[in-house]
């Protein structure tokens, strides 16, 4: 089988490496870290060709933007087998208002919320004043994981609403906002593969969204992750599926949506049980870099079954007992104004360490063959071992070999994993 993966980041790199265990892979447009010979003799290459011009047996769309833009629909019109929702299902991420409306219709436990357009600034201010403690302000449209403010400062929340609704901070994506009460507890991520009717959950993960050690600074697309989450066992995953994921899939069906892809649930686990923060319609980054490499089940079989609309014959996925930890190196100035062009060294040396995979998130090769920073998040190092502490030490040992000027790396990824829900 030949699989085409659409995207260029570390998530697509991780998808490619995992899929290439059992199938030939082409990634469009890919990144400098992907080309080469994959395990088991399967080919792994990149191409600048548009997905519609590529011949493959299965297409896997990585980022949210092409899904929202209808790429999966266009490929299905050509008779292609596609893992990824059509534009109707991708609205779950393309519009946070729509996502909250679906969650409300499905009676999914989530935060109290309201949505406001650019012409409703007075009403938005009034709603903020009715919330107490923490305030959450989100762009309605997609903003690469950076369109969320969580603050205890009412004045900061009001200023953020004004900047978003005016288009100053996130352009058209922010001209409608969703304002929520803040949820308290422990945040985790769960990927659920969907065939339109059935669900197969993968191993939970926990990621780190703030730029700085100790959860300081602004939100980012994610600065690191680990899996498994010791406190989130099979019973709790079952509760999440029963109360949150399955009702959402049913509500989408009632809305006429045949959702074939991954539902990525961002969840808060607190005293009231699991509650939904938001859904994304693609694999999360950097969680993918620790969840997929731990799979012992053939990922291609899972994705093809979901894309084909029948997960009924798929057995529960087998997962390695080893733990995975991913650490991200981001560009100077990220997330507000990342600086590109820095010379990156040490990536080959880091990749020679056993049980380490270096994923390229935002890199390019210059005319002299040097590796350069080309994005906000630049390099992701994932390491695997017998326990989270072993994997963590190895991930940081590998990251210590990598350098570019101004690189930002959190020092506390998986330092205090969630071992009990009261911890």
- Does 170 score more than 90 pLDDT? no
4-13, 142-151, 387-396: which has the minimum mean pLDDT? 142-151
CA atoms within 13 A on the CB side of 365: 9
99-103, 147-151, 331-335, 414-418: which has the minimum mean pLDDT? 147-151
Q: Are 63 and 41 in contact (CB under 8 A)?
A: no
Neighbours of 162 (CB within 10 A): 15
SS3 content of the chain, % helix, strand, coil (to 5): 30, 30, 40
CATH of domain 186-307: 3.30.470.20
Contacts of 315 (CB under 8 A, 6+ apart): 297
Q: Are 347 and 379 in contact (CB under 8 A)?
A: yes
Q: How far apart are CA 252 and CA 118, in angstroms?
A: 28
CA distances from residue 396 to 17, 20, 46, 345, 409 in whole angstroms, order as listed: 21, 26, 29, 16, 10
Q: What is the pLDDT of residue 179?
A: 94
Is the torsion defined by CA of 57, 60, 61, 67 positive or negative? positive
pLDDT digits (tens, 9 = 90+) for 236-274: 999 999 999 999 999 999 999 999 999 999 999 998 899
Q: How far apart are CA 277 and CA 292, in angstroms?
A: 23
Burial of 348 per CB tally in 10 Å (0-12, 13-18, 19+) = exposed
Q: What is the pLDDT of residue 174?
A: 73
- Does 144 score more than 80 pLDDT? no
Pairing of strands 24-29, 2-7: parallel
What are the structural domain ranges in the chain? 2-84, 112-181, 186-307, 323-399
Q: Which CATH class is domain 323-399?
A: alpha beta
CATH 3.40.710.10 fits 112-181, yes or no: no
Q: How far apart are CA 36 and CA 38, in angstroms?
A: 6
Neighbours of 121 (CB within 10 A): 16
Mean pLDDT of the chain: 94
Q: What is the mean pLDDT of residues 94-112?
A: 94
48, two tokens: 């600048």
pLDDT digits (tens, 9 = 90+) for 219-236: 899 999 999 999 999 999
CATH 3.30.1300.10 fits 2-84, yes or no: no
pLDDT digits (tens, 9 = 90+) for 361-382: 999 999 999 999 998 999 999 9
Among 336, 291, 317, 320, residue whose Cα is nearest residue 144: 336
Q: Are 72 and 82 in contact (CB under 8 A)?
A: yes
Ramachandran region, residue 73 (left: φ > 0; alpha: ψ -120 to 50; beta: rest):
alpha
User: What order do you get walking across the sheet with 82-83 strand by strand?
Assistant: 36-37, 43-46, 24-29, 2-7, 58-61, 82-83
Pairing of strands 273-280, 260-270: antiparallel
Q: Give this prediction's pTM.
A: 0.94
Q: What is the pLDDT of residue 118?
A: 87
pLDDT digits (tens, 9 = 90+) for 297-345: 999 999 999 999 999 999 899 999 999 999 999 999 999 999 999 999 9
């Amino acid at each position: 089988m030949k699989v085409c993966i659409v995207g260029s980041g570390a998530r697509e790199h991780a998808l490619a490496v995992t899929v290439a265990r059992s199938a030939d892979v082409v990634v469009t447009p890919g990144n400098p870290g992907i080309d080469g010979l994959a395990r088991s003799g399967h080919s792994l290459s990149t191409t600048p060709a548009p997905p519609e011009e590529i011949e493959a047996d299965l297409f896997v769309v990585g980022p949210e933007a092409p899904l929202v833009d209808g790429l999966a629909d266009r490929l299905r019109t050509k008779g292609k087998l596609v893992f990824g929702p059509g534009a109707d299902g991708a609205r779950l991420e393309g519009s946070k208002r729509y996502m909250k409306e679906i969650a409300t219709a499905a009676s999914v436990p989530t935060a109290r919320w309201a949505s406001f357009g650019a012409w409703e600034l007075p009403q938005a201010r009034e709603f903020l004043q009715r919330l107490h403690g923490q305030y959450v302000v989100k762009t309605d449209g997609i903003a690469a994981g950076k369109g969320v403010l969580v603050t205890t400062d009412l004045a900061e929340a009001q200023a953020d609403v004004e900047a978003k609704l005016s288009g100053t901070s996130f352009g058209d994506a922010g001209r409608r906002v969703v304002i929520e009460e803040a949820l308290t507890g422990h945040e985790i991520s769960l990927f659920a593969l969907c065939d339109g009717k059935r669900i197969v959950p993968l191993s939970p993960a926990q990621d780190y969204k703030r730029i700085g050690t100790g959860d300081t600074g602004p939100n980012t697309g994610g600065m690191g992750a680990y899996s498994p989450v010791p406190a989130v066992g099979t019973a709790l995953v079952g509760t999440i599926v029963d109360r949150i994921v399955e009702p959402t899939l049913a509500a989408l069906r009632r809305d006429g949506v045949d959702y074939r892809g991954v539902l990525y649930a961002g969840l808060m686990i607190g005293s009231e049980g699991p509650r939904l923060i938001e859904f994304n319609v693609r694999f999360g980054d950097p969680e993918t870099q620790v969840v997929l490499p731990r799979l012992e089940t053939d990922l291609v079989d899972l994705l093809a079954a979901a894309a084909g609309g029948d997960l009924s014959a798929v057995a529960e996925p087998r997962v390695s007992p080893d733990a995975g930890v991913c650490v991200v190196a981001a560009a100077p100035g990220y997330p507000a104004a990342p600086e590109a062009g820095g010379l990156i060294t040490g990536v080959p040396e880091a990749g020679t360490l056993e049980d380490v995979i270096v994923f390229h998130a935002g890199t390019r090769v210059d005319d002299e063959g040097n590796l350069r920073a080309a994005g906000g998040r630049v390099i992701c190092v994932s390491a695997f071992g017998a326990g989270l502490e072993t994997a963590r030490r190895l991930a940081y040992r590998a990251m210590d070999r990598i350098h570019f000027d101004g690189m930002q790396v959190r020092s506390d990824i998986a330092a205090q994993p969630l071992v009990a829900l009261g911890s």
